[in-house]
A and B are shown apart, each in its own frame.
Chain A
Amino acid sequence: MTTVSDPQSVAALVAEANDNRVNLDFETEGMTLNMGPQHPATHGTLRIIARLDGEQVISAEPMCGYMHRGYEKLTEVRTYPQINALINRIDWLGSFANEVPFILAAEKLMDVEAPPRAQWIRTILFEMSRVANISLFLGDFGLQLGGMTAGFYAFRDREWVLNQIESATGGRFHPNFDRIGGLKDDLPKGWIEESHTAMDKLLAFCDEMEDLLVGNEIFQGRTRGIGVIPAEIALSYGLSGANLRASGVDWDLRRDNCPPGLVYDKADWKVWTHPDGDCFARTWVRLQETREAAKIVKQLLDTIPSGPVMAKVPRIIKVPAGEAYVATENPLGEMGYYVVSKGDLVPFRVKIRSASFNNISVLPWVARGAYVPDLISILGSLYFILGDIDR
């Protein structure tokens, strides 16, 4: 923690911020506060340099790159099946959801379509990773705001869904289960019934969280009216997922622009939005989304068609020349891959559009004028996975 003793530099920062949310009436000492790289609210190693005027944040600048792994460069020397194992590590809480848009982009270029059974199982596992991802958010966000119980409950109940993912794919965190043209394997015996049970438990978990956390007065006091993001700002920064829907924009790629290969239209579900755009709205939308995801899984489990899980594709995958962008609604927001192929075993260039990178880029804007404890609420409610920012 260093002190900016020069009052002129504080005045310059305030003037630069040029925002009526910053209160200039108090004569306080300016200070630079360094949060992270190791901080419980950062889900990894994000560092935030906050310039304070008393208790108020004048500017907060995230410093990324502590976990940059250079995936865009690595994709240029790896075959498509190898990349599949790599991109599991982008958003490590909802790994299966990372694989799907890349596989769909490759399938689009190859003009291959997975058999219906594979499409169904893909969608189910996709939504299961959403449940696994967001249920941890609910617990962890409670933890950050001082509600320890929510964190323990989330880790307990999340295990149900992780067990299902593990028994179907063999990997708790990194399934690497999706293949160009289908899936690696069919479902194990008895999996459908077990998944129904697991989803029932998760639905009960959502009810519990609604009472325990979202309905909690202290929680609401820490989140209501804090970190408001208007819809126009959210769109201009490219916020997606629950962060955008919490600002009142009714847009969900699963419903509005679902790429072929996923069967969201076969289930009856709802896209939730919230008009407020504050930290509470973002949490509330995510809670509803977890419920909807569990409902989608339960409906699709009952209607899985029979048949093969793999289309006929060549043993050695060469993707024809072309360019394709496929994006899906991942737990964190829109995740897309812009794949440029030159007809080779490896892609020529892959641009990974990850949700958290855009979602967290709004932080300098939204943190301005907030108080230091609210910074934790804002950071937590924007919900990012560091691997999804740094790639």
Chain B
Amino acid sequence: MSQLSSADTETPEEAAPATDDAREAVLAEFTSRLGDGVVGSHIRVGDDLWIRVDRAHWLEAAEVAKSMGYRFFDFLSAIDWLPSPFGRDMDAQEDLVVAGTPAKEPEAMVQGYAGGDTRFQLLARLYSISAGMGITFKCDLPDDDLSAPTWSNVFAGANWHEREAREMFGFSFDGHPNMINMYLPADFVGNPLRKDFPLLARRVRPWPGIVDVEPMPGVADEEGEGE
């Protein structure tokens, strides 16, 4: 525990090295069965396992994981790693252009655990009830071809999740049986969860949280401490 935790916490620590071994073993078995389809991985000891697979092996990854006992389908979604051009505090790139001030240096795109090379990544999670562990899968999708094979023949629950990912991010899933909109009206234009899709309510009204960021009068000296 870091210095942030309270002094009197006495939660028994998990046997961290043991669980780590278990996840290493899962990763090793998965890698040996998928071959060079695994392009990245990350393990947080005693907590979680991330595996990034090649798009060509995306479907195979689901099949391999299912045969390894990961039969519970948790969710499938995506991440758009583009730093948002729309800020919260009205000094984002877009606002500077409107105000006529020189543009800022754009933030670099930084992908999360298990790495990544592209703006869009598929994100999916499977769980093994017998092992009591989950695997989070990631898969890079190149900008010029945002498509992936569907998981819905392996995990029936992926059907709806892929419909959601398609309308929210603009992907396409090859072989999907029922690719209609999940939430949005059929004539909706745009993909709302893309970072470059503006949240208009926030553009019209500045971010209300901005006042919290400035230190309150009289408490500047104890900033960073609890109440």
Are A340's CB and B112's CB within 8 A? yes
Complex-state Cα separation, A349 to B168, whole angstroms: 13
Are A312's CB and B74's CB within 8 A? no
> Separation in Å of the A297 CB from the closest CB of chain B?
21
- CB contacts (< 8 Å) of A257 on chain B: these are 132
Chain A residue at minimum C-beta to C-beta distance from B226: A312
Complex-state Cα separation, A240 to B134, whole angstroms: 15
Are B209's CB and A79's CB within 8 A? yes
Q: Which of B1-55 contact A (CB under 8 A)?
A: 1-2, 4-6, 8-11, 47-48, 50
> Separation in Å of the A149 CB from the closest CB of chain B?
36
Stretch at the interface among A22-30, A111-119, A204-212, A286-294: A111-119
The number of residues on chain A lying at the interface, defined by a beta carbon within 8 Å of a beta carbon of chain B, is 64
A233 within 8 A of B: yes
- CB contacts (< 8 Å) of B75 on chain A: these are 238, 336, 338, 351, 353, 358
The number of A-B residue pairs with CB atoms under 8 Å apart is: 164
Complex-state Cα separation, A323 to B138, whole angstroms: 12
Are A325's CB and B129's CB within 8 A? no
- CB contacts (< 8 Å) of B157 on chain A: these are 236-239, 358, 361-362
Chain A residue at minimum C-beta to C-beta distance from B209: A79
B64 within 8 A of A: no
The number of residues on chain B lying at the interface, defined by a beta carbon within 8 Å of a beta carbon of chain A, is 58
A35 within 8 A of B: no
B227 within 8 A of A: yes
Are A365's CB and B156's CB within 8 A? yes
Are A349's CB and B183's CB within 8 A? no
Complex-state Cα separation, A10 to B181, whole angstroms: 24
Are A312's CB and B182's CB within 8 A? no
Q: Looking at A111, A235, A310, A314, which has the most chain B CB atoms within 10 Å of its CB?
A: A235
B193-227 Cβ-contact flags toward A at 8 Å (1 or 0): 10101010010000101001100000100011111
Complex-state Cα separation, A220 to B34, whole angstroms: 48
- CB contacts (< 8 Å) of B193 on chain A: these are 72-73
Complex-state Cα separation, A349 to B111, whole angstroms: 12
Chain B residue at minimum C-beta to C-beta distance from A353: B75
Q: Which of B129-158 contact A (CB under 8 A)?
A: 129, 132, 134, 136, 155-157
Are A110's CB and B4's CB within 8 A? yes
A12 within 8 A of B: no
Complex-state Cα separation, A345 to B207, whole angstroms: 12
Are A112's CB and B4's CB within 8 A? yes
Chain B residue at minimum C-beta to C-beta distance from A232: B71
A390 within 8 A of B: yes
Are B226's CB and A314's CB within 8 A? yes
A41-67 Cβ-contact flags toward B at 8 Å (1 or 0): 000000000000000000000001100
User: Given A116-B8, A340-B79, do A315 and B72 touch, yes or no (CB 8 Å)?
Assistant: no
**A111: which of B4, B185, B202 is its contact (CB, 8 Å)?**
B4
- CB contacts (< 8 Å) of A270 on chain B: these are none
- CB contacts (< 8 Å) of A275 on chain B: these are none
Complex-state Cα separation, A313 to B6, whole angstroms: 9
Are B5's CB and A112's CB within 8 A? yes
Are A77's CB and B129's CB within 8 A? no
Complex-state Cα separation, A267 to B185, whole angstroms: 47
- CB contacts (< 8 Å) of A6 on chain B: these are none
B110 within 8 A of A: yes
**A345: which of B48, B50, B184, B213 is its contact (CB, 8 Å)?**
B213
B interface list, Cβ under 8 A from A: 1-2, 4-6, 8-11, 47-48, 50, 71-75, 77, 79-80, 84, 88, 110, 112-113, 123, 125, 129, 132, 134, 136, 155-157, 159-160, 168, 181-185, 192-193, 195, 197, 199, 202, 207, 209, 212-213, 219, 223-227
Between-chain CB contacts (< 8 Å), 26 pairs: A68-B184, A73-B192, A74-B199, A79-B209, A79-B212, A114-B6, A116-B9, A181-B226, A235-B73, A236-B156, A237-B155, A237-B157, A260-B11, A314-B4, A314-B223, A315-B219, A322-B112, A322-B113, A323-B136, A325-B134, A338-B75, A338-B77, A338-B123, A338-B125, A342-B110, A358-B75
Across the A-B interface, the 6 shortest Cβ-Cβ residue pairs = A65-B183, A238-B157, A238-B73, A311-B6, A237-B157, A68-B183
A interface list, Cβ under 8 A from B: 64-65, 68, 70, 72-74, 76-79, 82, 108, 110-116, 181, 232-233, 235-240, 249, 251, 256-257, 260, 307-308, 310-316, 322-325, 327, 334, 336, 338, 340, 342, 345-346, 349, 351, 353, 357-358, 361-362, 365, 390
